[in-house]
Amino acid sequence: MNTNEYYINYLTEQSVGVEAMLKRRMSEITSDVPPQIAEAMEYSLMAGGKRLRPIMLAEAARSCGLKNITDTEIYASAIEMIHTSSLIHDDLPAMDNDDLRRGKPTSHKVFGEAMAILAGDALLNHANEIMARHVSENTEPRFAKAAYAITKATGISGMIGGQTIDILAEKAGLDIASEELLVKMYSMKTCALLEGAVAAGAYIAGADESVVNKWRKYALYIGLAFQIVDDILDVVGNESVLGKPIGSDSENNKPTFVTLMGLDGAREYAEKYTDMAKSIACELGNAEFFLWLADYLCKRDR
């Protein structure tokens, strides 16, 4: 088995582990919760996907020497709930208006728009609830730092702020498109949650700020490459492989690296940020998985 096959199998195994972990979290929701909201939450949370953020969180902790990897489970679960909540809201008619996500009808197509909004809100709030409970029961500063890294990455200076720029840019159209704008938008919209994931993992393992900052830099570069590849796949991807419609960026008048620089230019930037991520991974030590992951995400077809 070559290195690529080994890590693809490893990624699959870890994804299966994340699925089981998320099922445990959903089973903890008490019976007094309205069953409709629990069903809508679970529908989107368990719809599959790469499970990249929880895997990166746990792997960063391992790379930093954490022995008891179960220490990461609450935070890995929380970050996937947060990511899923953002996808539910992304797909709404008021935003990207998509009918498919991960090959399945989007939440608002199944449960209606109001319930989809509530399901997204519920996943975001439940993520914060389970982290807050864990921090209150485990007073070591490393857990509070992990929770803060994730919640800050989610908020107005992170994912939600990036989504705001995205909506404003869409309304303004391609006239405002620039490399600076796109890097800022992607850094907040996509990279911040990846940064929160690896930073949380490093904090849980007891890493100091200088190490955490290197992990953040790695996640920034890999996130930029990831989002640019998304831009490319929205033009040349296979809808049945992607599990969502292609061409939606163009239909929604969104500025992307492809609209700004063309396909070849976008590919060059994806490769540039991938190389920058790999350079940081080499500095981190014990990060062979992350070195491989950078190349894997740059060459993906979904």
Which of 29-33, 147-151, 169-173, 230-234 is predicted with the least confidence, judged by mean pLDDT?
169-173
Q: Region 191-204: what's the mean pLDDT?
A: 98
pTM above 0.85, yes or no: yes
Phi-psi region of 34 (alpha: psi -120 to 50; beta: other; left: phi over 0): beta
The answer to which of 117-126, 189-198, 279-288 has the lowest mean pLDDT is 279-288
Residues 104-127 as b/e (b if ≥16 CB within 10 A, e otherwise) read bebbbeebeeebbbbbbebbbebb
The mean pLDDT value of the chain amounts to 92
The class (CATH top level) of 3-298 is mainly alpha
Own/partner pairs for 50-54, CB < 8 Å, 24+ apart? Answer: 50/11, 50/15, 51/14, 51/15, 51/18, 51/19, 51/80, 52/194, 53/79, 53/80, 53/83, 53/193, 53/194, 53/197, 54/18, 54/21, 54/79, 54/80, 54/197
Given a contact cutoff of 8 angstroms between Cβ atoms, the answer to whether 297 and 228 are in contact is no
pLDDT over 90 at 10, yes or no: yes
Region 211-239 average pLDDT: 92
Q: Does the structure show a pLDDT above 60 at 63?
A: yes
How many Å apart are CA 98 and CA 89, to the nearest integer? 10
Contact 122, 37 (CB under 8 A): yes
Q: Considering the chain, what percentage of its residues have pLDDT values greater than 90?
A: 79
User: What's the confidence (pLDDT) of residue 119?
Assistant: 98
* 101 φ, ψ (degrees, to nearest 5): -145, 125
Question: Is the confidence at residue 240, as pLDDT, over 60?
Answer: no
pLDDT of 116? 98
pLDDT bucket at 103, cuts 50 / 70 / 90: confident
